[in-house]
Amino acid sequence: MTKVAIFASGSGTNFENIAQRVQSGELSQIEITALYTDHDDAGCIALAHRLNIPVHINKVKDFDSKTAYETHLLELLREEQVEWIILAGYMRLIGETLLEAYEGQILNIHPSLLPKYKGKDAIGQALDHHETQTGTTVHYVDSGMDTGSIIAQKSCDIFENDTHDDVEARVKSLEYELYPAVISEIIQ
């Protein structure tokens, strides 16, 4: 069994999708030790409760510094013997403390065809640029914003009258296939 932690800040549908595939036995060699979130009102918390997965809620503002915050996370990760960190909508840059401890062992998924449209609202950025295609990318995490080396991508069309919600739903349906496939190949 490979122990992984999932980090999320928002609705957590990618977290839910991965956890369901672990629980159904599709990702049979993976154990999710806990959900780590930095928001006490994030949707992912209720999903974790429903899935019987422990939750660690830690807000950066409750610590003296980002280093102190990450040092606390690192203690929890070590207690749980976590080998890989899977970011699934974790809305913060990973700092030096976690990067040094988990270099090459942190994955992220981003809703664009990187290196295009890094950072916030990648789907809005693609729409603003009148793209006819976008997609999703799974990549290793380094100190930059969505800059780590790319592992896999999947693309989809953007149609003329698409709303932001239309494109987001299309991209997420790609993510629900791509992320478990990469996790299975790289971690499992």
Give the Å distances, CA to CA, from 115 to 122, 134, 148: 11, 11, 10
Q: Any binding-site annotation on 135?
A: no
Give the Å distances, CA to CA, from 168 to 21, 49, 102: 22, 25, 30
Q: Any binding-site annotation on 108?
A: yes
The answer to whether residue 164 is catalytic is: no
CA dist 21 and 135 (Å) reads: 22
Q: Any binding-site annotation on 12?
A: yes
Smallest distance from ligand GRF to CB 89, Å: 3
175 binds ligand GRF per the rule CB under 6 A = yes
Write each residue from 106 to 125 as x if it is in contact with ligand GRF (CB under 6 A), else as -, in one continuous string.
---xxx--------------
Q: Any binding-site annotation on 94?
A: yes
12 binds ligand GRF per the rule CB under 6 A = yes
Q: Which is nearer to ligand GRF, 38 or 175 (CB)?
A: 175
Longest dimension (CA), the chain: 50
Smallest distance from ligand GRF to CB 79, Å: 26
Q: Say which of 110, 130, 139, 164 is annotated catalytic.
A: 110
Smallest distance from ligand GRF to CB 125, Å: 13
Structure tokens at 47: 């999903």
Q: Any binding-site annotation on 13?
A: yes
155 binds ligand GRF per the rule CB under 6 A = no
Residues, the chain, total? 188
By CB under 6 A, what part of segment 123-152 binds ligand GRF? 136
By CB under 6 A, what part of segment 33-92 binds ligand GRF? 88-89
Render the burial of 49-85: b for 16+ CB within 10 Å, e for the rest: eebebebbebeeeeeeebeebbeebbebbeebebbbb
Count Cβ atoms below 10 Å from residue 30 Cβ, excluding itself.
22
Tell me which residues touch ligand GRF (CB under 6 A).
8, 10-15, 88-89, 109-111, 136, 172, 175
- The residues assigned a catalytic role are 110
